Amino acid sequence: MRYYSTRNRSERATLKEAVLRGLAPDGGLYMPHSFPVLSPDFIGSLQSRSFQENTLTVATAFFGEDLDEQVLRQMVESTITFDAPLVPLSENLYALELFHGPTAAFKDFGARFMSRMLGHFAESESRLITILAATSGDTGSAVANGFLGVPGTRVVVLYPSGKVSDIQEKQFTTLGENIIALEVEGSFDDCQRMVKEAFQHRELNGRMVLTSANSINLARLLPQTFYYFHALAQLPAGSRPMVSVPSGNFGNLTAGLIARKMGLPIGHFVAATNVNDIVPRYLQTGAYLPRASAATISNAMDVGDPSNFARMQDLFQSSPDDMKSLITGCTFSDDETKAAMLQVYQRHGYVMDPHGAVGYLGALGHANAGHPIIFLETAHPAKFKETVEQILKVEVPVPNTLQHFLRRKKQTIRLKPDFGALYETLVSESLAH
C-alpha cells in the first residue's frame, strides 16, 4: 500500500516512510491510496470470531502487502490483549468501553499497535528512533506504556508542569528504561510548539530519526478501526448502528469513517464535542474557524484546531455535503456533561467519565427508533477521579492497572519552555540508550 499526503495526492510514500515521518514533508497528513473493502461474508460473520481474529483480517487488509503474515499476527496478538465490551445501558443504547488497556484510555489501542510496528521497522534501521510527544495527559501515558522496553526506540514526552492530573503524570514519569519525561515550565501549547520546532529543525532531523506519536501518525490512526469492527461483532448480525464519538483531534471519528469505507455498516455518526466546537460549527455553517482552546472537564478534548480534520475533509473531498449528511455535530457545556453523568448514574447505575458523557449526550439527542446507538466510552472514570467523585458523590475505585503506577516514584527532567532546552536534551549523550 502507498500513502499520499492530504496536500499532495501524487505522493507515494511507503508504509515505513509514512510511519517514520508521522507528518508528510509538505505538512499534510498521510492517507492510504485505496481503502480495502472487506467481503460481505466477513462482515456478516463478525459475531463468530474473536476480537483478535477479526482484527487480524482488518489489519491484513491494510498492512498485508507490507508486512509478513507472522509479523502482523504477532503485532495484533500483542496489541489486543484486553477486551472492548459493548455494555447495554437501556434498550438500543450501548457504551463501547475502550478503557480496559494498561493506561485506561482508548489511546492504548493505537499506541500499542504503533509501538509494535515501529519496533519492527527499528530492526532494519541502524539508528535509534526517537518518538517525540507533547501531551496534556492521555497521549503521553498511552505512548510511553506502549513503547516501554521496545528495542531501538526511545520516547520523549513533554508535558506542562502542574497541569496534568496526578494519576496521568505517574503513568509516564515513573517508567524509566527508554522513556524520558520532560517537565516543561509552561503550558501545553508551549510543549506542542517545542515539538513542532523539533520536527522542522533540519540539522536535528539529519542527526536522528524523529517521529511523532500523535494521532497524525498512520500507525496510530488505522488500528483505531479495529474496535469499530469489534463493536458490530457484539450486536446481532444485520445491525446498522449509529455511533457517537466524543472528539478532540478527531482521530477516533476518522477511524470510524475509514471502517465504514471498508464496508462496516455504520448508519450515521455523531461528532460530539465539549465547548471546543470547531467541527460541529463547520458541519453547521461550512466555515472552518480554528481558535484557541478553552479548558473543560473533558480536557483530552480541549482542542482548538483538530489535526485530523484535514483527513475528514480529504475523505469527503468530492462532496462536503456528504460529510454533513453522514455526520451530525453537537456540542455540550460542562454543566450539561455533569448533569448527564449524574442522570446516567441515577438511572442506570453506570459511572461515566466526562469524555464518555459527552459521547452519551450526543447519542441521546439522536435516538432513532429501531437502530442501536453506541457511544464510545474513551476513558475509565477513575482517570478523572476527583471530578467524577465530586459530581456523583460516590467513591470511584481505582483499577489495579492504574494503582500500581501510583506507588512508583516520579522521575523527570525540568525544562524551560524553549526549543533550545529541548534540543540540548535530545542530543545529550547521556540520554541516548
Binding positions for ligand PLP, rule: CB under 6 A: 105, 107, 138, 215, 246-252, 300-301, 355, 378-379
Residue 222 CB, nearest approach to ligand PLP (Å): 13
**What is the Cα–Cα distance from 135 to 117, expressed in whole angstroms?**
21
Q: Which is nearer to ligand PLP, 188 or 419 (CB)?
A: 188
Q: Which is nearer to ligand PLP, 171 or 215 (CB)?
A: 215
* Grid cell of 263 as nine digits: 464496508
| 196 catalytic per annotation | no
8-state DSSP, 299: G
Residue 245 CB, nearest approach to ligand PLP (Å): 7
For every residue of 102-162, DSSP letters joined together read TTSBTHHHHHHHHHHHHHHHHTT-SSPEEEEEE-SSHHHHHHHHHHTT-TTEEEEEEEETT
Residues 6 or more apart whose Cβ sits within 8 Å of residue 298: 246, 274, 337, 354, 355, 357, 358
Residue 105 CB, nearest approach to ligand PLP (Å): 4
140: closest CA among 431, 398, 412, 425? 412
At 375, which helix (H) or strand (E)? strand 373-377
CB 360 within 8 A of CB 95: yes
Q: Which is nearer to ligand PLP, 331 or 378 (CB)?
A: 378
Q: Which is nearer to ligand PLP, 138 or 277 (CB)?
A: 138
Residue 169 CB, nearest approach to ligand PLP (Å): 15
Q: Which is nearer to ligand PLP, 120 or 230 (CB)?
A: 230
Angle, CA 248 vertex, CA 86 and CA 308 arms, to 5°? 100
Residue 300 CB, nearest approach to ligand PLP (Å): 3
User: Dihedral through CA 200, CA 206, CA 209, CA 215, nearest 10?
Assistant: 20
Choose, from 16, 107, 324, 410, the residue flagged as catalytic: 107
255: closest CA among 285, 277, 286, 231? 231
- The residues carrying an active-site annotation are 107
